[in-house]
Amino acid sequence: MDPKEFSGTIEPMIAEGWINSIEVIFAFMELQDADKDRCDTLFLTEDARLWWESVSVKFMSLRQGDSSVADFVGKFERGCHFVPLMANDTWEKMRNFMDRLRPILRRVVRVDGLTTYTVVVSRAFAAGQD
């Protein structure tokens, strides 16, 4: 389908145009979200590739550590925008959030069972205050 490579730009309309052209190809190919996430990065070059690698590495290594629950939720939410598979799948988002919580908070939050991402975040806030 001869997709165009994307090297990066500061012009949002150019970036949006590239995204739209890739989405048209993915729709035609009937790709699933997980496949889309793997394929679109193949067409990033130069600055765009460097940016993606730094963002994805930072997000994938994100852990709560000493951060407050509020700070961690903020960072996690921002990072999810770069991982559409996680942002669009509530179970995957909840699971990833739980895995990155401080172990003591993770145990407290898990005690009641997992239902939704929103409930897990609320429980993490409550456990963080305790």
Per-residue pLDDT tens for 18-38?
888 988 998 999 988 777 767
Q: pLDDT tens digits for 33-79?
A: 777 767 878 888 888 888 777 777 677 788 998 889 999 999 899 88
- pTM for this one? 0.61
The answer, yes or no, to whether residue 82 has pLDDT greater than 80, is: no
Distance CA 74, CA 24 (A): 32
**What are the Cα distances from residue 5, in Å, to 31, 47, 49, 91, 128?**
19, 12, 10, 32, 44
Q: What is the pLDDT of residue 53?
A: 77
Closest CA to 122 of 86, 84, 101: 101
Pick 112 or 62 by higher pLDDT: 62
Q: What is the pLDDT of residue 100?
A: 92
